[in-house]
Amino acid sequence: MPHSILEVNGLRKSFGSTEVLKGVDLTVASQELVFVIGPSGSGKSTLLRCCNRLEDTSGGSIRFNGQDITEPGVDVNQLRRQIGMVFQSFNLYPHLPALGNITLALRKSVGQSADEAEKRARAALDRVGLSDKADAYPGELSGGQQQRVAIARALALEPKILLMDEPTSALDPELVGSVLEVIRELKASGVTMIVVSHEMHFAREAADRVVFIDHGEIVEEGPPSQIFGAPEHERTRAFLQRILQS
Amino acid sequence: MIDSFFNLEIMAQVLPSILDGMGITAVLSILVILTGTVLGLLLATIRALQKRPVDLIIILFVDAFRAIPPLVILIVTFFALPYVGIQLSGLVATWLCLSLVLAAFAEEIFWAGILSVHKGQWEAARSTGFTFLQTLRFVVLPQAMRLALPPLTNRAIAIGKSTALASVVAVPEILNQASSAQAQYANASPLTLAALAYLAIFIPLVVLSRWVESRFAWKH
């Protein structure tokens, strides 16, 4: 088994008096595609957001490349350049064209020259199949195209791991496929990913591992064939039944 | 009527002093607009950090300076501060007071603009390794500006015009020059000339502001 990139141990997170994560353990190996599924409010998104410190944690540890990133002295900006994040609502910068969305961090955060950044950004756009949309503003792109630009923006920083928070949930059904296709290609090229998603059929065929979270704890995890074919826990069964029926 | 308001002979004699006044009005207005806007932006940036006690101080300042008439602030600064040993020239007092008034309005305008930018923009930018200030500068403010610019330029021009208040504290700007001339000649023509002088300064500023606004609009 390849070495692990991310190791979450006993992760706890509370918002006020509500405990959203109640001791989550999760290890992600290099080049692995892990799908996190679970009902809304189960803590899936919070888990992802803790992994790049968008949320502060309340307990436990998250080791990224061996370093505990929940420690107070961690340089979060340096850390976040290595952990890509893709959001449900894309969050592209509306005042910049696709290319500018990608080059902004390369130039102002990484410190690349304009030429260097543009080359890297065009390569990233090419990877998500949008090399012809470099000059288009987000408002001129479809939801699926916007999400692919957002993926390119994250990819251009060459992250060690890519976190995707319901990347297809805000898309019209006919646009979902284009984004899943990109995820499939990233997987083929060896990008490590954690994807929070309700795309069960895609998870079943593409994921290396599926993790089912409910009420802030991991109920069950395993290869998709096991989770979807022979779930051990009643809660997993009930959830899958509800999702797959609808 | 023509003789009282458009006496060309008097106008010609008064013109040099009105031109001097124009120089002062123009410089003073530009100084006030620059310092006030920069200070307002600075205050909005500090407020975006959301530190409780500092926020309250800013809100207090902003509300006070928006509520008190600028003329009152100016008179207090110029005539009352000397009692506690602070003596400012009329020019400096006007610059300071109007800058603070504009800063108060500008802070509210920038702040409203910053609040209008969706939280997801902050998160996306921070997720690419941007610091708080970089996010504000490269992602949030460019978007906030689009909303803030029209009210900001309006307010800046309005307060630039109120440099006419400086005539009260003996700054020889346009209005002050015109009033003295009016008293001297017992004729209103210098005031007509003053009105024309204000038009000459502020019409270009209005045009400029429109150009700046259009530059900050973006395609959808």
* pLDDT mean over B182-194: 93
Residues B139-184 have pLDDT tens digits of 999 999 988 999 999 999 999 999 999 999 989 999 999 999 999 9
Nearest to A137 among B123, B130, B218 (CB): B218
B210 interfaces chain A, CB cutoff of 8 Å: no
Joined together, the tokens standing for residue A165 give 């928070």
Joined together, the tokens standing for residue A92 give 């592209």
Residues of A with CB under 8 A from a CB of B: 52, 54, 77-81, 83-85, 87, 89, 91-95, 104-105, 108-110, 137, 139-140, 150, 153-154, 157
CB contact (8 A) between residue A140 and residue B219: yes
Distance CA A90, CA A179 (A): 12
Q: What does the mean pLDDT of chain B come to?
A: 93
- Fill in the DSSP letter of residue A246: -
Residues B90-117 have pLDDT tens digits of 999 999 999 999 999 999 999 999 999 9
Residues A43-60 have pLDDT tens digits of 999 999 999 999 999 999
Which residue type occupies B46? I
Looking at chain A, which residue has its C-alpha nearest residue B140?
Answer: A93
Which residue type occupies A3? H
Distance from CA of A38 to the nearest CA of B (A): 23
Which residue type occupies A54? L
What pLDDT, on a 0 to 100 scale, did the predictor assign at position B58? 97
Joined together, the tokens standing for residue A184 give 């499939």
CATH number, domain containing residue B129: 1.10.3720.10
CATH homologous superfamily for A1-82+161-246?
Answer: P-loop containing nucleotide triphosphate hydrolases (3.40.50.300)
CB contact (8 A) between residue A154 and residue B120: no
Distance CA B155, CA A186 (A): 51
* pLDDT mean over A171-180: 94
Distance from CA of B41 to the nearest CA of A (A): 20
Distance from CA of A149 to the nearest CA of B (A): 13
Interface ipTM: 0.93
Residues A29-88 have pLDDT tens digits of 999 999 999 998 899 999 999 999 999 999 999 999 989 999 989 999 999 999 999 999
HEC secondary structure over chain A: CCCEEEEEEEEEEEECCEEEEEEEEEEEECCCEEEEECCCCCCHHHHHHHHCCCCCCCEEEEEECCEECCCCCCCHHHHHCCEEEECCCCCCCCCCCHHHHHHHHHHHHHCCCHHHHHHHHHHHHHHCCCHHHCCCCHHHCCHHHHHHHHHHHHHCCCCCEEEEECCCCCCCHHHHHHHHHHHHHHHHCCCCEEEECCCHHHHHHHCCEEEEEECCEEEEEECHHHHHHCCCCHHHHHHHHHHHHC
Residues A105-163 have pLDDT tens digits of 999 999 999 999 999 999 999 999 999 999 999 999 999 999 999 999 999 999 999 99
Q: Which domain holds residue B102?
A: 2-216
Nearest to A77 among B123, B130, B142 (CB): B130
Task: Give how far the C-alpha of residue B107 lies from the chain's centroid of Cα atoms, to the nearest Å.
Answer: 12
Do residues A79 and A124 make contact, with C-beta atoms less than 8 angstroms apart? no
Q: What does the mean pLDDT of chain A come to?
A: 94
How confident is residue B2, by pLDDT bands cut at 50, 70 and 90? confident
Mutation site, B118, B121, B127, interface A, largest A CB count within 10 A? B127
pLDDT at B220 over 60: no
The four Cα atoms B176, B67, B77, B206 give a dihedral, to 10 degrees, of -40
Q: Where are the domains of chain A?
A: 1-82+161-246, 91-158
Looking at chain B, which residue has its C-alpha nearest residue A102?
Answer: B128
B128 interfaces chain A, CB cutoff of 8 Å: yes
CB contact (8 A) between residue B128 and residue A140: no
Q: Is A231 helix (H, G, I), strand (E, B) or coil?
A: coil
Residues A118-134 have pLDDT tens digits of 999 999 999 999 999 99
Q: What's the total number of domains in chain B?
A: 1
Residue showing tokens 């009282």: B4
Distance CA A49, CA A55 (A): 6
Mutation site, B128, B134, B215, B216, interface A, largest A CB count within 10 A? B128
Q: Is A17 helix (H, G, I), strand (E, B) or coil?
A: coil
Chains A, B: CB contacts within 8 A come to 71
CB contact set of B78 (below 8 Å; sequence gap of 6+): B88, B90, B93, B169
Which is higher by pLDDT, B44 or B3?
B44
Distance CA B217, CA B215 (A): 6
